[in-house]
Amino acid sequence: MPDRSTLTFIIGGARSGKSAHAETLATTSPPPWAYIATAEAYDDEMRERIALHRSQRSEGWTTIDAPLDLAGALEALPDNQPVLVDCLTLWLTNHMLAEHDLDLEYRRLADVLSQPRGPWFVVSNEVGQGIVPDNALARRFRDAAGRLNQQVAAIADTVLLMVAGLPLKVK
Amino acid sequence: MPDRSTLTFIIGGARSGKSAHAETLATTSPPPWAYIATAEAYDDEMRERIALHRSQRSEGWTTIDAPLDLAGALEALPDNQPVLVDCLTLWLTNHMLAEHDLDLEYRRLADVLSQPRGPWFVVSNEVGQGIVPDNALARRFRDAAGRLNQQVAAIADTVLLMVAGLPLKVK
Amino acid sequence: MPDRSTLTFIIGGARSGKSAHAETLATTSPPPWAYIATAEAYDDEMRERIALHRSQRSEGWTTIDAPLDLAGALEALPDNQPVLVDCLTLWLTNHMLAEHDLDLEYRRLADVLSQPRGPWFVVSNEVGQGIVPDNALARRFRDAAGRLNQQVAAIADTVLLMVAGLPLKVK
């Protein structure tokens, strides 16, 4: 039996098919599948998105909410469990709003992700290819997201860039 | 004689050379070439852009305006006609401003595009790789464009991502 | 000895690892290495970024400031000097703020870049993959940056798109 303990990092723009592709890849392994949701519903638009995503997932999925303690949620998983983390940019948003020490959080997360114990799929957004944002918070977020994406991509076994629903292999 | 009935989808950011590359590809087939323009001139900046694009196209091109009924314009084409659709994101903008049912429009368009009757080239914008926009309309547009791009990429024979004027093959 | 006179163009979003990758590539040649900085410190945020970047570079680098006369700075380099230009989009910003003739500046720069006299690495930002910006100046900048990137990519020997710190070969 091949070693299925690998980290796949899936990055792309909004509505580029990241989550759907990650689901397709995760479900090539037998269930049960773990879906680690980092979204926190701050408003109705967000609540709607979360409910829609949840209703679109097929049976066999268990949802684990981890808006902040993503490392802990990953550590609590059994071995060989296929998992989809959706997504890193929302997790980052939650930590920025809580004014946590990002470097510390990145390190904790990278420690866990560098030793995947199953077929792990992590989704994140590319947010840095537009015009420099007007406001300082958006620029800070953009920088922080870029740094986070680089760190995870560096330790991932496979990195895919999603373009219009199609994966482009980067690593 | 090879089957030249194929759909090529060309996606990229602003000023990434999408239209120019699509023109280069379309004109490898003999003229006459059809240029289906979806732009609607709402203001002077737009009128200027349209006029500039039109003046830059070489002879042999026929321009067809189809700000809304793109499916109808494609259906009216003769067989084996090379065609450039420029572009899907402006067509989407026009339908959103007219408050049309997007799912219905997407289905009509996908029906026609899934059966190309010549070398068809469709251009669209990647708009989802920046920071989440402040206003709700821009977010709705970004989501709608992403969904549209995914649908067209799924039925296209070839998908190219333009980067600084150069094509990167995605499919 | 192989011909090391080549132009490598490295494009990517904010915090995509462009400069770090360019540094890695440049330092495969023996020092001294030239770092041509185009940044002009208009405010504290910028000053901080510049100081941070400078402190992160290892020894063996000479920094040359060229906020406007980039072509001149390149012409003044000795033959076979590894050089990193960081970055084209800031250079463009400076010329737009000074209301210079961009076409003229592009031509001067392209003339010099088309005849590299060493391993030259030029970094630029992809800024066109977000939503159309609200304000006209940002749209003008986005168009100008896209045109500039196309021109440099066209004459480059190698073009790399940075995604989360990893290079994707475009040319």
- SS3 readout for chain C: CCCCCEEEEEEECCCCCHHHHHHHHHCCCCCCEEEEECCCCCCHHHHHHHHHHHHHCCCCEEEEECCCCHHHHHHCCCCCCCEEEECHHHHHHHHHHCCCCHHHHHHHHHHHHCCCCCEEEEEEECCCCCCCCCCHHHHHHHHHHHHHHHHHHHHCCEEEEEECCEEEECC
Specify the pLDDT at position B52: 79
> How does DSSP classify residue C14?
T
Specify the pLDDT at position A100: 97
| Contact indicator for C21, C160 with CB cutoff of 8 Å | yes
Instruction: Say which residue the tokens 């592009």 belong to.
Output: C106
> How does DSSP classify residue B114?
T
The string of pLDDT tens digits covering residues A90-135 is: 999 999 999 999 999 999 999 999 999 999 999 999 999 999 998 8
The active-site residue out of A21, A53, A95, A100 is A53
Q: Report the residue of chain C nearest B140, measured CA to CA.
A: C131
Q: How many CB atoms lie within 10 A of CB C30?
A: 9
Reply yes or no on whether the pLDDT at A1 is more than 60. no
| Strand positions, DSSP E, chain C | 6-12, 33-37, 61-65, 83-86, 119-125, 158-163, 166-169
| Whether C90 contacts chain A with CB within 8 A | no
Specify the pLDDT at position B1: 41
| Whether C163 contacts chain A with CB within 8 A | yes
User: Would you say A39 is a known binding-site residue?
Assistant: yes
Specify the pLDDT at position A112: 98
Average predicted confidence (pLDDT) for chain B: 93
Reply yes or no on whether the pLDDT at A3 is more than 90. no
Reply yes or no on whether the pLDDT at A2 is more than 50. no
**Interface probe with B: pick from C131, C139, C152, most Cβ of B within 10 Å:** C131
| Contact indicator for C149, C111 with CB cutoff of 8 Å | no
More confident residue, B58 or A67: A67
Specify the pLDDT at position A50: 76
The CATH class of the B6-169 domain is alpha beta
More confident residue, A67 or B45: A67
Count helices and strands in chain B by DSSP H and E runs: 6, 7
Residues in chain C, total: 171
Q: CA torsion B10→B13→B19→B20, rounded to 10°?
A: -110
Specify the pLDDT at position C19: 95
The string of pLDDT tens digits covering residues B59-73 is: 889 999 999 999 999
Query: Which of 3.40.50.300, 3.90.1150.10, 1.10.357.10, 3.30.450.20 would CATH assign to domain C25-169?
Result: 3.40.50.300
| Contact indicator for B125, B86 with CB cutoff of 8 Å | no
| Whether A16 contacts chain B with CB within 8 A | yes
Q: Is A20 exposed, middle or buried (0-12, 13-18, 19+ CB in 10 A)?
A: middle
Q: Report the residue of chain B nearest A145, measured CA to CA.
A: B131
- Nearest Cα to Cα of residue B61 among B36, B78, B79: B36
| Contact indicator for A120, A113 with CB cutoff of 8 Å | yes
How far is residue A42's CA from residue B28's CA, in Å, rounded to a whole number? 52
The kind and range of the H/E element at A151 are helix A136-155
Specify the pLDDT at position B50: 76
Specify the pLDDT at position C55: 78
Specify the pLDDT at position A17: 96
How far is residue A82's CA from residue A23's CA, in Å, rounded to a whole number? 10
Please name the chains neighbouring A, where neighbouring means 3+ C-beta pairs under 8 angstroms: B, C
Averaged over B85-101, what is the pLDDT? 96
The kind and range of the H/E element at B47 are helix B44-56
Domain-wise residue ranges, chain B: 6-169
Specify the pLDDT at position B64: 94
> CB–CB of A153 and C138 under 8 A?
no
Q: Computed from CA positions of residues B110, B112, B115, B118, in that sequence, does the dihedral angle turn out positive or negative?
A: negative
| pLDDT by residue, tens only, chain C of 171 residues | 446 899 999 999 999 999 999 999 999 999 999 999 999 877 787 788 778 777 777 788 999 999 999 999 999 999 999 999 999 999 999 999 999 999 999 999 999 999 999 999 999 999 999 999 988 999 999 999 999 999 999 999 999 999 999 999 999
Strand, helix or coil for residue C23: helix
Averaged over B24-42, what is the pLDDT? 92
The active-site residue out of C21, C53, C95, C100 is C53
Average predicted confidence (pLDDT) for chain A: 93
Q: Report the residue of chain B nearest C145, measured CA to CA.
A: B15
pLDDT band at residue B54 using 50, 70 and 90 as cut-offs = confident
Of A11, A130, A152, the CB nearest to C130: A130
